[in-house]
Amino acid sequence: MTEFEYEKACRGPLTPVSYENAWGTAAFSTSYTIVNRFKTTEYSSTAPLGLTNIQGNILYRVGIEATSSSDRVHAGATYYGILNMTGSVFERCLGGFNSDFSAFTNINGNGNISSTAGADVNGWPSPSSTNYIERGGSAGNEGYRQQSVSSRFRNNLGDDYSHVFGGRGVRSY
Protein backbone atom coordinates (compact mmCIF):
# COMPACT_ATOMS: atom_id res chain seq x y z
CA MET A 1 0.00 0.00 0.00
CA THR A 2 1.06 3.58 -0.45
CA GLU A 3 1.46 6.06 2.39
CA PHE A 4 -1.79 7.70 1.30
CA GLU A 5 -3.63 4.37 1.42
CA TYR A 6 -2.24 3.68 4.92
CA GLU A 7 -3.44 7.04 6.26
CA LYS A 8 -6.82 6.74 4.53
CA ALA A 9 -7.30 3.21 5.94
CA CYS A 10 -6.57 4.54 9.43
CA ARG A 11 -8.33 7.90 9.39
CA GLY A 12 -11.00 7.57 6.73
CA PRO A 13 -12.49 10.98 5.83
CA LEU A 14 -12.03 12.41 9.35
CA THR A 15 -9.88 15.42 10.21
CA PRO A 16 -6.39 14.50 11.50
CA VAL A 17 -5.77 14.54 15.26
CA SER A 18 -2.30 15.42 16.62
CA TYR A 19 -0.31 12.24 17.28
CA GLU A 20 -3.35 10.10 16.54
CA ASN A 21 -3.10 6.35 16.48
CA ALA A 22 -5.03 4.19 14.03
CA TRP A 23 -8.05 4.18 16.39
CA GLY A 24 -8.43 7.97 16.11
CA THR A 25 -7.03 9.27 19.42
CA ALA A 26 -3.57 9.99 20.78
CA ALA A 27 -4.31 7.87 23.87
CA PHE A 28 -3.16 4.27 24.23
CA SER A 29 -2.65 1.57 26.88
CA THR A 30 0.49 -0.29 27.78
CA SER A 31 -1.05 -2.08 30.76
CA TYR A 32 -3.27 -5.07 30.07
CA THR A 33 -3.76 -8.69 31.03
CA ILE A 34 -3.39 -11.40 28.39
CA VAL A 35 -5.18 -14.71 28.96
CA ASN A 36 -4.16 -17.94 27.18
CA ARG A 37 -0.90 -16.42 25.97
CA PHE A 38 0.52 -18.06 22.80
CA LYS A 39 -2.73 -19.96 22.11
CA THR A 40 -5.30 -19.38 19.39
CA THR A 41 -7.75 -18.47 22.16
CA GLU A 42 -5.49 -15.65 23.42
CA TYR A 43 -7.42 -12.54 24.48
CA SER A 44 -7.09 -9.42 26.57
CA SER A 45 -9.15 -9.63 29.76
CA THR A 46 -8.94 -5.87 30.31
CA ALA A 47 -10.42 -3.14 28.14
CA PRO A 48 -7.33 -1.35 26.85
CA LEU A 49 -7.47 1.98 25.16
CA GLY A 50 -5.84 1.02 21.89
CA LEU A 51 -3.44 -1.67 23.09
CA THR A 52 0.09 -1.02 21.97
CA ASN A 53 3.17 -3.10 22.51
CA ILE A 54 5.65 -0.45 21.45
CA GLN A 55 9.03 -1.19 23.02
CA GLY A 56 7.58 -4.39 24.46
CA ASN A 57 9.22 -6.64 21.84
CA ILE A 58 6.16 -8.90 22.05
CA LEU A 59 3.68 -9.67 19.30
CA TYR A 60 0.05 -10.46 20.04
CA ARG A 61 -2.70 -12.12 18.05
CA VAL A 62 -4.27 -9.69 15.59
CA GLY A 63 -7.50 -8.32 17.01
CA ILE A 64 -6.74 -9.38 20.57
CA GLU A 65 -8.49 -6.25 21.93
CA ALA A 66 -11.64 -6.53 19.81
CA THR A 67 -14.77 -7.98 21.39
CA SER A 68 -18.41 -8.10 20.38
CA SER A 69 -19.03 -5.01 22.52
CA SER A 70 -15.83 -2.95 22.01
CA ASP A 71 -15.90 0.35 20.17
CA ARG A 72 -13.29 1.52 17.65
CA VAL A 73 -10.95 2.98 20.27
CA HIS A 74 -11.03 0.01 22.64
CA ALA A 75 -10.67 -2.50 19.81
CA GLY A 76 -7.74 -0.55 18.37
CA ALA A 77 -9.52 -0.44 15.01
CA THR A 78 -9.16 2.02 12.15
CA TYR A 79 -12.04 4.09 10.78
CA TYR A 80 -12.86 1.14 8.49
CA GLY A 81 -12.44 -1.50 11.21
CA ILE A 82 -8.98 -2.74 10.24
CA LEU A 83 -7.12 -4.04 13.29
CA ASN A 84 -3.50 -3.66 14.38
CA MET A 85 -2.46 -0.80 12.10
CA THR A 86 -0.72 0.83 15.09
CA GLY A 87 1.78 -0.64 17.50
CA SER A 88 2.14 -4.28 16.49
CA VAL A 89 4.38 -4.54 13.45
CA PHE A 90 5.41 -1.86 10.98
CA GLU A 91 3.26 -1.59 7.88
CA ARG A 92 5.59 -1.39 4.91
CA CYS A 93 4.26 1.31 2.58
CA LEU A 94 5.35 2.73 -0.72
CA GLY A 95 6.63 6.20 -0.05
CA GLY A 96 9.25 8.11 1.82
CA PHE A 97 11.50 11.06 1.22
CA ASN A 98 13.69 11.20 -1.89
CA SER A 99 11.83 8.29 -3.49
CA ASP A 100 11.30 8.00 -7.23
CA PHE A 101 7.81 6.78 -8.07
CA SER A 102 7.86 7.71 -11.74
CA ALA A 103 7.72 4.04 -12.80
CA PHE A 104 5.18 2.94 -10.17
CA THR A 105 1.81 1.74 -11.36
CA ASN A 106 -1.04 0.99 -9.01
CA ILE A 107 -2.21 -2.02 -10.99
CA ASN A 108 -3.14 -4.96 -8.79
CA GLY A 109 -0.68 -7.79 -8.38
CA ASN A 110 -1.33 -11.32 -9.54
CA GLY A 111 -0.51 -13.09 -6.28
CA ASN A 112 2.86 -14.38 -7.48
CA ILE A 113 6.33 -13.39 -6.37
CA SER A 114 9.66 -13.42 -8.15
CA SER A 115 12.56 -15.74 -7.31
CA THR A 116 13.93 -12.96 -5.07
CA ALA A 117 10.61 -12.64 -3.15
CA GLY A 118 9.63 -9.42 -4.90
CA ALA A 119 6.53 -8.51 -6.86
CA ASP A 120 6.51 -9.73 -10.42
CA VAL A 121 4.46 -6.77 -11.63
CA ASN A 122 6.12 -4.19 -13.86
CA GLY A 123 6.34 -0.81 -12.16
CA TRP A 124 6.44 -2.12 -8.60
CA PRO A 125 9.63 -1.51 -6.59
CA SER A 126 11.96 -4.39 -5.76
CA PRO A 127 12.31 -5.65 -2.15
CA SER A 128 15.71 -3.94 -1.86
CA SER A 129 14.37 -0.60 -3.11
CA THR A 130 14.52 2.40 -0.81
CA ASN A 131 11.06 3.47 -2.00
CA TYR A 132 9.50 2.11 1.19
CA ILE A 133 8.64 3.66 4.52
CA GLU A 134 7.53 1.84 7.67
CA ARG A 135 4.38 3.21 9.25
CA GLY A 136 2.42 2.54 12.45
CA GLY A 137 5.14 1.67 14.95
CA SER A 138 6.14 -1.79 16.08
CA ALA A 139 6.87 -4.03 19.03
CA GLY A 140 10.55 -3.09 18.69
CA ASN A 141 12.33 -0.25 20.43
CA GLU A 142 10.69 2.68 18.68
CA GLY A 143 9.20 5.57 20.59
CA TYR A 144 5.50 6.12 21.10
CA ARG A 145 5.36 9.17 18.81
CA GLN A 146 6.67 7.03 15.95
CA GLN A 147 3.52 4.92 15.98
CA SER A 148 1.23 7.84 15.10
CA VAL A 149 -0.62 7.66 11.79
CA SER A 150 1.30 10.57 10.25
CA SER A 151 4.78 9.69 11.54
CA ARG A 152 7.37 9.41 8.79
CA PHE A 153 10.28 8.59 11.09
CA ARG A 154 11.19 5.21 9.52
CA ASN A 155 11.99 6.41 6.02
CA ASN A 156 13.70 4.75 3.05
CA LEU A 157 15.02 1.69 4.83
CA GLY A 158 15.08 -0.59 1.81
CA ASP A 159 15.78 -4.27 2.43
CA ASP A 160 15.21 -4.20 6.19
CA TYR A 161 13.34 -7.22 7.57
CA SER A 162 12.83 -8.55 11.09
CA HIS A 163 10.07 -9.67 13.45
CA VAL A 164 8.86 -6.08 13.74
CA PHE A 165 7.82 -5.80 10.07
CA GLY A 166 4.52 -7.00 8.71
CA GLY A 167 2.91 -7.12 5.34
CA ARG A 168 -0.62 -6.45 4.17
CA GLY A 169 -2.25 -7.20 0.91
CA VAL A 170 -3.98 -4.11 -0.45
CA ARG A 171 -6.13 -4.03 -3.54
CA SER A 172 -7.17 -1.02 -5.62
CA TYR A 173 -10.65 -0.79 -7.10
Average pLDDT of the segment spanning 102-131: 76
24-54 pLDDT tens trace:
998 877 767 788 888 888 877 776 666 666 5
Local confidence band at 128 (pLDDT 50, 70, 90 cut-offs)? low
| pLDDT value of position 80 | 95
What is the number of structural domains in the chain? 1
Half-sphere exposure of 31 (CA within 13 A, CB side): 0
| pLDDT value of position 3 | 86
Contact by Cβ (8 Å): 94, 131: yes
Q: Measuring CA to CA, which residue among 136, 140, 128, 143 is closest to residue 168?
A: 136
* Average of per-residue pLDDT values in the chain: 78
Whether 81 has a pLDDT exceeding 90, the answer reads yes
| pLDDT value of position 115 | 81
- The Cα angle at residue 150 between residues 117 and 43, in degrees rounded to 5: 70
Rounded Cα gap, residues 110 and 119, in angstroms: 9
- What's the domain range around 72? 1-173
Contact by Cβ (8 Å): 2, 124: no
